[in-house]
Amino acid sequence: MTKRLLLAATLLASAATAQPADREAALDAQISSADQMAWLKTLTSGPNHLGSPHNQANAALIEKLFREWGWQVKRADYQVLYPTPVSTALELVGPVAKTLGGQEPGIPEDATSNTLAGALPPYVAYQGDGDVTAPVVYVNYGLPADYEALARRGISVKGKIVIARYGGGWRGLKPKLAQEAGAIGCLIYSDPQQDGYGSADTYPNGGGRPPAGVQRGSVVDMTTYPGDPLTPGVGATKDAKRLTRETAPTVLKIPTLPISYADATEILSRLKGAPVPPDWRGGLPFHYRFGGSDDVRVHLKVASEWSLKTVSNIIATLPGSSRKDEWVVRGNHYDGWVFGASDPLSGEVALLSEAKALGALYKAGWRPKRSIVYASWDGEEPGLLGSTEWVEHNLAELRQKALIYINGDSNGRGFLGVEGSQQYQAFVGQVAAQVRDPQTGASVAERWRAGVRAKAFDGLRGNATALAAAEAGGDQPLDALGSGSDYTAFIHHAGVTSLNIGFGGEGESAGSYHSIYDSYDHFVRFDDPGLAYGATLSKVVGRMVLRLADADVPPVRFGPLASAARLYLTEIKALIETRRREDQRRAGLSPELYRLASDPRDPIAPPLAKPETPAIDLAVLDAAIGRLEAAAKGFDAAIGAKGASLTPAQTAALNAALKGIDQTLLSPAGLPFRPWFRNILYAPGRFTGYGAKTLPGVREAVEERRFGDAVREAGIAAKALNDYADRISAAAAALQ
Amino acid sequence: MTKRLLLAATLLASAATAQPADREAALDAQISSADQMAWLKTLTSGPNHLGSPHNQANAALIEKLFREWGWQVKRADYQVLYPTPVSTALELVGPVAKTLGGQEPGIPEDATSNTLAGALPPYVAYQGDGDVTAPVVYVNYGLPADYEALARRGISVKGKIVIARYGGGWRGLKPKLAQEAGAIGCLIYSDPQQDGYGSADTYPNGGGRPPAGVQRGSVVDMTTYPGDPLTPGVGATKDAKRLTRETAPTVLKIPTLPISYADATEILSRLKGAPVPPDWRGGLPFHYRFGGSDDVRVHLKVASEWSLKTVSNIIATLPGSSRKDEWVVRGNHYDGWVFGASDPLSGEVALLSEAKALGALYKAGWRPKRSIVYASWDGEEPGLLGSTEWVEHNLAELRQKALIYINGDSNGRGFLGVEGSQQYQAFVGQVAAQVRDPQTGASVAERWRAGVRAKAFDGLRGNATALAAAEAGGDQPLDALGSGSDYTAFIHHAGVTSLNIGFGGEGESAGSYHSIYDSYDHFVRFDDPGLAYGATLSKVVGRMVLRLADADVPPVRFGPLASAARLYLTEIKALIETRRREDQRRAGLSPELYRLASDPRDPIAPPLAKPETPAIDLAVLDAAIGRLEAAAKGFDAAIGAKGASLTPAQTAALNAALKGIDQTLLSPAGLPFRPWFRNILYAPGRFTGYGAKTLPGVREAVEERRFGDAVREAGIAAKALNDYADRISAAAAALQ
Query: Which residues of chain B make contact with A455, given a CB cutoff of 8 A?
Result: 597
- Which of A287, A467, A583 to probe the B interface (max B CBs under 10 A)? A287
**B259 occurs within a structural domain:** yes
Q: Report the SS3 class of residue A58.
A: helix
Determine the residue of chain A that is closest to B194 in CA distance.
A278
Determine the residue of chain B that is closest to A203 in CA distance.
B287
Query: Which residues of chain A make contact with B198, given a CB cutoff of 8 A?
Result: 281, 287
Closest-CA residue to B319 (of B368, B366, B365, B357): B368
Query: What are the angstrom distances between the C-alpha of A8 and each of A14, A194, A336, A530?
Result: 10, 45, 33, 21
Q: Which of A277, A593, A601 sits opposite B454 (nearest CB)?
A: A593
Determine the residue of chain A that is closest to B152 in CA distance.
A458
Burial B72-102 (b: 16+ CB within 10 A, else e): ebeebbbbbbbbbbeebbbebeeeeeeebbb
Q: Are residues B534 and B652 in the same domain?
A: no
Q: What is the pLDDT of residue A10?
A: 66
Q: Which of B199, B208, B607 sits opposite A457 (nearest CB)?
A: B607
For the stretch A324-350, pLDDT in tens is: 999 999 999 999 999 999 999 999 999
Determine the residue of chain B that is closest to A436 in CA distance.
B596
**B441 occurs within a structural domain:** no
Q: Which of A200, A201, A600 sits opposite B439 (nearest CB)?
A: A600
Q: At what angle do helices A619-642 and A707-734 cross, to 10 degrees?
A: 20
**A201 occurs within a structural domain:** yes
Q: B285, A197: Cβ pair inside 8 Å? A: yes
Beta strands B161-165 and B130-138 are parallel
Show the low-confidence residues of chain A (pLDDT under 70): 1-11, 13-17, 644
- The domain boundary residue, chosen from B518, B550, B582: B550
**Pairwise CA distance, residues A700 & A688, whole Å:** 11
Q: Which of A453, A596, A606 sits opposite B593 (nearest CB)?
A: A453
Q: What is the pLDDT of residue A1?
A: 42
Q: Report the SS3 class of residue A92.
A: strand
**B478 occurs within a structural domain:** no
**Pairwise CA distance, residues B550 & B548, whole Å:** 6
Query: What are the angstrom distances between the C-alpha of B566 and each of A688, B621, B684, B694?
Result: 43, 9, 19, 11
Q: B588, A450: Cβ pair inside 8 Å? A: no
**Pairwise CA distance, residues B296 & B269, whole Å:** 10
Q: B285, A283: Cβ pair inside 8 Å? A: yes
- Asked whether B229 and B238 are in contact (CB, 8 A), the reply is no
Determine the residue of chain B that is closest to A439 in CA distance.
B600
Query: What are the angstrom distances between the C-alpha of A63 and each of A59, A372, B193, B404, B480?
Result: 6, 16, 53, 88, 73
Determine the residue of chain A that is closest to B203 in CA distance.
A287
Q: Which of B281, B442, B598 sits opposite A198 (nearest CB)?
A: B281
**Pairwise CA distance, residues B339 & A72, whole Å:** 84
Show the low-confidence residues of chain B (pLDDT under 50): 1-2
Our CA dihedral for A682, A683, A687, A689, rounded to 10 degrees, sits at: 120
- The domain boundary residue, chosen from B235, B270, B304: B304
Tell me how close the Cα of B432 comes to any Cα of chain A, in angstroms: 14
Burial level of B668, CB count in 10 A (0-12/13-18/19+)? Answer: exposed
SS3 letters across A421-462:
CHHHHHHHHHHHCCCECCCCCCEHHHHHHHHHHHHHHCCCCC
Reading phi first (left if > 0) and then psi (alpha if -120 to 50, else beta), residue A530 is in: left
**B488 occurs within a structural domain:** no
Tell me how close the Cα of A169 comes to any Cα of chain B, in angstroms: 20
Q: What is the pLDDT of residue A181?
A: 98
Q: How many CB atoms lie within 10 A of CB A64?
A: 11
Tell me how close the Cα of A597 comes to any Cα of chain B, in angstroms: 4
Q: B597, A200: Cβ pair inside 8 Å? A: no
Query: What are the angstrom distances between the C-alpha of B727 and each of A257, B491, B655, B662, B695?
Result: 73, 18, 11, 10, 19
Q: A287, B599: Cβ pair inside 8 Å? A: no
- Asked whether B695 and B597 are in contact (CB, 8 A), the reply is no
Q: Are residues B566 and B633 in the same domain?
A: yes
Query: Which residues of chain A make contact with B607, given a CB cutoff of 8 A?
Result: 457-458
- Which of B413, B458, B467 to probe the A interface (max A CBs under 10 A)? B458
**What is the ipTM score, two decimals?**
0.94
**Pairwise CA distance, residues A286 & A270, whole Å:** 10
Q: Are residues B58 and B139 in the same domain?
A: no
Tell me how close the Cα of B261 comes to any Cα of chain A, in angstroms: 11
Q: What is the pLDDT of residue A9?
A: 64
What pTM does this model have?
0.96
Backbone angles phi, psi at B484, to 5 degrees: 115, -5
Q: Are residues A621 and A671 in the same domain?
A: yes
For the stretch B421-444, pLDDT in tens is: 999 999 999 999 999 999 999 999
Q: Which of A200, A439, A457 sits opposite B589 (nearest CB)?
A: A457
Which residue blocks in A200-295 are alpha helix, DSSP H?
A: 261-268
Q: Are residues B194 and B103 in the same domain?
A: yes
Determine the residue of chain A that is closest to B605 in CA distance.
A454
Tell me how close the Cα of A600 comes to any Cα of chain B, in angstroms: 7
Domain count, chain B: 3
Q: A201, B287: Cβ pair inside 8 Å? A: yes
Q: A460, B208: Cβ pair inside 8 Å? A: no
State the DSSP H helix or E strand holding residue A87, giving kind and residue range, or none if neither.
strand A84-94
DSSP, res B718: H
Which amino acid belongs to residue B155? I
List beta partners, residue A599. Answer: A602
**Pairwise CA distance, residues B490 & B329, whole Å:** 10
Q: A596, B283: Cβ pair inside 8 Å? A: no
The number of C-alpha atoms within 13 Å of A442 and in the hemisphere containing its C-beta is 19
Domain that residue A60 falls in = 3-82+327-421+482-550
Closest-CA residue to A104 (of A93, A112, A96): A112
Q: A597, B285: Cβ pair inside 8 Å? A: no
Q: B284, A285: Cβ pair inside 8 Å? A: yes
Q: B607, A414: Cβ pair inside 8 Å? A: no
State the CATH number of the domain containing residue A711: 1.20.930.40
- Asked whether A178 and A146 are in contact (CB, 8 A), the reply is no
DSSP, res B527: I
Query: What are the angstrom distances between the C-alpha of B65 and each of B60, B69, B310, B536?
Result: 9, 6, 22, 20
Determine the residue of chain A that is closest to B601 in CA distance.
A506
Q: Which of B283, B286, B450 sits opposite A593 (nearest CB)?
A: B450
Which amino acid belongs to residue A711? V
Q: Are residues A76 and A122 in the same domain?
A: no
Q: B454, A192: Cβ pair inside 8 Å? A: no
Query: Which residues of chain A make contact with B455, given a CB cutoff of 8 A?
Result: 597
- The domain boundary residue, chosen from A550, A573, A588: A550
Q: Which of A198, A287, A599 sits opposite B197 (nearest CB)?
A: A287
Q: Are residues A255 and A375 in the same domain?
A: no
Q: Which of A198, A439, A596 sits opposite B440 (nearest CB)?
A: A596
**Pairwise CA distance, residues A132 & A89, whole Å:** 10
**A316 occurs within a structural domain:** no
Beta strands A402-407 and B217-218 are unpaired
Q: B451, A596: Cβ pair inside 8 Å? A: yes
Query: Which residues of chain B make contact with A414, given a CB cutoff of 8 A?
Result: 599
Q: Are residues A74 and A105 in the same domain?
A: no
Query: What are the angstrom distances between the C-alpha of A501 and each of A421, A484, A519, B376?
Result: 12, 13, 22, 69
- Asked whether A91 and A100 are in contact (CB, 8 A), the reply is yes
Our CA dihedral for B86, B310, B337, B69, rounded to 10 degrees, sits at: -160
- Asked whether A181 and A134 are in contact (CB, 8 A), the reply is no
Reading phi first (left if > 0) and then psi (alpha if -120 to 50, else beta), residue B182 is in: left
**A668 occurs within a structural domain:** yes
Backbone angles phi, psi at A372, to 5 degrees: -110, 125
Q: B285, A286: Cβ pair inside 8 Å? A: no
Q: What is the pLDDT of residue A307?
A: 96
Q: Which of A201, A450, A506 sits opposite B593 (nearest CB)?
A: A450
Query: What are the angstrom distances between the C-alpha of B291 and each of A283, A455, B269, B525?
Result: 21, 24, 10, 40
**A179 occurs within a structural domain:** yes
Query: What are the angstrom distances between the C-alpha of B78 and each of B245, B337, B381?
Result: 17, 19, 15
Tell me how close the Cα of B282 comes to any Cα of chain A, in angstroms: 9
State the CATH number of the domain containing residue B73: 3.40.630.10
Query: Which residues of chain B make contact with A202, given a CB cutoff of 8 A?
Result: 287
Cis peptide before A229 (omega within 30 of 0): no
Q: What is the pLDDT of residue B10?
A: 66
Q: Are residues B534 and B570 in the same domain?
A: no
Q: What is the pLDDT of residue B460?
A: 75
Q: Which of A414, A447, A596 sits opposite B447 (nearest CB)?
A: A596
Tell me how close the Cα of A596 comes to any Cα of chain B, in angstroms: 5
Query: Which residues of chain B make contact with A201, given a CB cutoff of 8 A?
Result: 275, 286-287
- Asked whether B526 and B504 are in contact (CB, 8 A), the reply is no
Determine the residue of chain A that is closest to B145 in CA distance.
A458
Q: What is the pLDDT of residue A452?
A: 96
**Pairwise CA distance, residues A125 & A252, whole Å:** 9
Q: How many CB atoms lie within 10 A of CB A640?
A: 9
Q: Are residues A194 and A342 in the same domain?
A: no
Closest-CA residue to B185 (of B216, B214, B146, B219): B219
Burial level of B237, CB count in 10 A (0-12/13-18/19+)? Answer: middle
Q: Are residues A58 and A118 in the same domain?
A: no
- Asked whether B658 and B727 are in contact (CB, 8 A), the reply is yes
Q: Which of B200, B284, B455 sits opposite A275 (nearest CB)?
A: B200
State the CATH number of the domain containing residue A291: 3.50.30.30
Q: Are residues B8 and B30 in the same domain?
A: yes
